[in-house]
Structure 1
Amino acid sequence: MNAILEKQNILPLPAEYFARGGSIDDYKIVFDLLNLYSMHLNGRVDLNDPELLRLDWLNDGFNPETDLHLVFAADGTLVAFVECWTTQQPPVHPWIYGCVHPDHWGKGIGGHIVTWAEDHARLALDKCAPDLRVAPRSGVEAHNENGNALFEGLGWKHIRSFYRMVADLDSAPEESAVPDGIVIRPYDPETELEEVYRTFVDTFNDHFGFIEQPFEKGLAEYKHNFVEEPGYTPEMWFVAMDGDRMAGICICRRENADDAESGWVSELGVRREWRKRGLGHALLKHAFAAFYADGKKRAGLGVDASSLTGALKLYENAGMRVQRQFNMYEKEFRSGKELAVESL
């Protein structure tokens, strides 16, 4: 039997604070805290629309009453929150995310919420086969020195970094040449959602951390997170077609979640058969042109800084630059077989 890491005790809160589980109705106070935290750290909000947070908590398998932990000051002000996601099947990498109000830093609250989430994430051990490696993951911005030190002090390891990239759209972008035989067009929301999802799975099977989900579960989650969200704009979903075969996708939001003047590329992927022909570059430039025509001043996306498919170089060649860096941390609970993609 694979060794299991000794349990970390939940670090206590100072006496003047109290904690409770969450509810779906807490999304607005958490939204306000997230934006206050982001303004302090980055000089900008994290989300423009609280509905995005509520929608996130409505994902199947996430229960705010048990998977969300809120910390309050004596006067009832929310000062910290943390989410622990074990919705993946199997949940070999529970995802932990939270923050602390800047006025309450240095009081041990960060240690409390991370260790609470660690304790909650241990439930995943019984939901995963005994030969599987189980290790919760979390992320913190690279310039948040206190946040990085917190994770490292609790025995977490920095395993990866991710970039948020941006391109200025000061003038009409030059569209890239499309490979022979390929047509880029908006997708048909009436008939093509399932094929878009299948293309997403095929292309992201080559991305670090990806774990393919049972088809019906994965499709339902994709629909919930991309179609049922308030920023869904089907005319900004582009597909690359080679005859009747979908070679690639570029799934976009008309408006970035934290910047109304920027478009956002949510997913960009090309199936293996059509790679190394410039199709990814052509899809990206097509999206830039659509954003510019829509009056946007910028375009943004997220990328693995050590992308297995060379996506970072593609985006740099398209004129994008790094805006922010996020560090991913991991704490191994149990050694064993790794299910997530780590290399090609």
Structure 2
Amino acid sequence: MTNPAMNDYKSRALTEADAPAATDLVNTCYIAETGAPVVTKEEVLGEWRTPGFHLATDSLGVLTPDDRLIGMLEMWNLGEPPVRPLLFARVHPDYCSQGIGSSMIEWAEDWSQTAVENAPDGARVTLRSSTNVVNEAAAQLLANSNFSVVRHFYRMVVELDAPPPEPVWPEGLMVETFVDTEANHRTMYAVMEEAFADHWGHLPITFDKWMHWTETDPQYDPSLWFWVRNGDEIAAGELCRFKMTEDPGLGWIDDLAVRRPYRKRGLGQALLLHAFGELYRRGQRKVGLGVDASSLTGATRLYEKVGMEVVRQIVLYEKELRPGAELSTQTIDD
């Protein structure tokens, strides 16, 4: 890193021994933004052990002379094909405005040149990062580095003051609780990949990565996974968790996916109400999820219809590294 301000600090790749310090750093940054910690050491290690991610080459830590971790950067490029590196960086609030963030972006752009070289011929390659809309300093830093806003995402939450309405299932369709077997995981993965191919910006991920994230998630509970069956065919799936690290009183819907042939029949609403009801029976009085604010499938309108409201906004930034053909989903046919 060439920024003279970095002469006061040390930098190196992160190691698993840094997990406690990295967890503290991430949580300190989020507490400054939202008032609550968001991650545990076990979750950090689970992410770092994702197939295809290598701490030795894909991370950077910035430390004070006495070895206190004050900045960290992770570079992710796990989509298939790998044409969209994602920059995840955090700087301790006490060390902002000292050139650390801009130096990490410089490092990330150097790292991303390998992604450009490895991308398919003729494919557009972009570097992305995201920030909470309240983090004006991060927004300015990205803008100064020639990133542009490309999308907004919402966190939406519903308050459950009473048991939610019972879902009404389309004729012939039946909801089932997921049974934890490898064959069922492969089926659920296929349903999710097929449905989310209609999600803006989607690039496929491999089954081994998807399974790793499931197996290392301390909140994974197959009794909160559901799918909807039409005879021998799976029409839709829903992956929930009882609580969030950030808010143990918040139930969460990680993914809700309805395959194209079964859309516009009320199945998405039925699955939402089913999740609300199950989480309510288990004691939760709030349920949340994340959604593309301009969802290509109209998901935002559905969530509003069942009483969910926006409580947080995330801004996605992008910088083009190489022009070419866009390989991720941008639009869908009706």
* Residue pairs, 1:239-250, within 5 angstroms: 239-250=227-238
Letter in 1 for 2:137: N
RMSD: 1.3
- 1:267, 1:257 → 2: CA distance? 17
Question: Residue in 2 aligned with 1:296?
Answer: 284
Sort the Cα spacing of 1:119 and 1:178 in 2 relative to 1 into closer, same or farther, 3 A: same
For the Cα contact (< 8 Å) 1:249–1:270, is it kept in 2?
yes
- What secondary structure sits across from 1:164 in the alignment? strand
Question: Residue in 2 aligned with 1:86?
Answer: 77
Deviation per CA, 1:3-57, whole angstroms, max 9, x where unpaired? xxxxxx854443321111111221211110111111111111122x221111001
- 1:304, 1:11 → 2: CA distance? 36
- 1:197, 1:13 → 2: CA distance? 46
Specify which of 56, 64, 68 is matched with residue 73 of structure 1.
Answer: 64
For the Cα contact (< 8 Å) 1:232–1:253, is it kept in 2?
yes
Letter in 1 for 2:291: V
Letter in 2 for 1:123: T
Residue 319 (1) aligns with residue 307 (2): yes
Residue 287 (1) aligns with residue 275 (2): yes
- 1:95, 1:23 → 2: CA distance? 20
Specify which of 140, 153, 163 is matched with residue 149 of structure 1.
Answer: 140
* Residue pairs, 1:213-292, within 5 angstroms: 213=205, 218-292=206-280
For the Cα contact (< 8 Å) 2:237–2:256, is it kept in 1?
yes
Sort the Cα spacing of 1:146 and 1:203 in 2 relative to 1 into closer, same or farther, 3 A: same
Identity in percent: 36
For the Cα contact (< 8 Å) 1:10–1:119, is it kept in 2?
no
For the Cα contact (< 8 Å) 1:92–1:135, is it kept in 2?
yes
- What secondary structure sits across from 1:92 in the alignment? coil
- 1:11, 1:140 → 2: CA distance? 23
Question: Residue in 2 aligned with 1:61?
Answer: 52
Q: Which runs of 4+ in 1 moved over 4 A?
A: none
- 2:131, 2:111 → 1: CA distance? 19
For the Cα contact (< 8 Å) 1:288–1:299, is it kept in 2?
yes
Instruction: Number of aligned residue pairs: give it.
Output: 331
Deviation per CA, 1:230-287, whole angstroms, max 9, x where unpaired? 1110000010111111000111112223211111111101001010011001001101
For the Cα contact (< 8 Å) 1:206–1:308, is it kept in 2?
yes
Answer with 188-197 or 139-148: which moved more. 188-197
Letter in 2 for 1:133: R
Answer with 187-196 or 241-250: which moved more. 187-196
Residue 210 (1) aligns with residue 202 (2): yes
- What secondary structure sits across from 1:14 in the alignment? helix
Letter in 2 for 1:304: D
For the Cα contact (< 8 Å) 1:90–1:127, is it kept in 2?
no
For the Cα contact (< 8 Å) 2:37–2:245, is it kept in 1?
no
User: In the TM superposition, what is the alpha-carbon distance from 1:88 to its structure 2 partner?
Assistant: 2.7
Letter in 2 for 1:340: S
User: In the TM superposition, what is the alpha-carbon distance from 1:158 to its structure 2 partner?
Assistant: 0.6
- What secondary structure sits across from 2:126 in the alignment? coil
- What secondary structure sits across from 2:131 in the alignment? strand
User: In the TM superposition, what is the alpha-carbon distance from 1:110 to its structure 2 partner?
Assistant: 1.0
- What secondary structure sits across from 2:74 in the alignment? strand
Question: Residue in 2 aligned with 1:328?
Answer: 316
For the Cα contact (< 8 Å) 1:10–1:116, is it kept in 2?
no
* Residue pairs, 1:105-144, within 5 angstroms: 105-144=96-135
- What secondary structure sits across from 2:31 in the alignment? helix
- 1:26, 1:77 → 2: CA distance? 10
Residue 104 (1) aligns with residue 95 (2): yes
Residue 21 (1) aligns with residue 9 (2): no
Residue 198 (1) aligns with residue 190 (2): yes
- 1:206, 1:269 → 2: CA distance? 10
Deviation per CA, 1:47-92, whole angstroms, max 9, x where unpaired? 2x22111100101111111111011122221111010112333210
- 1:11, 1:208 → 2: CA distance? 36
- What secondary structure sits across from 1:338 in the alignment? coil
- 2:72, 2:50 → 1: CA distance? 18
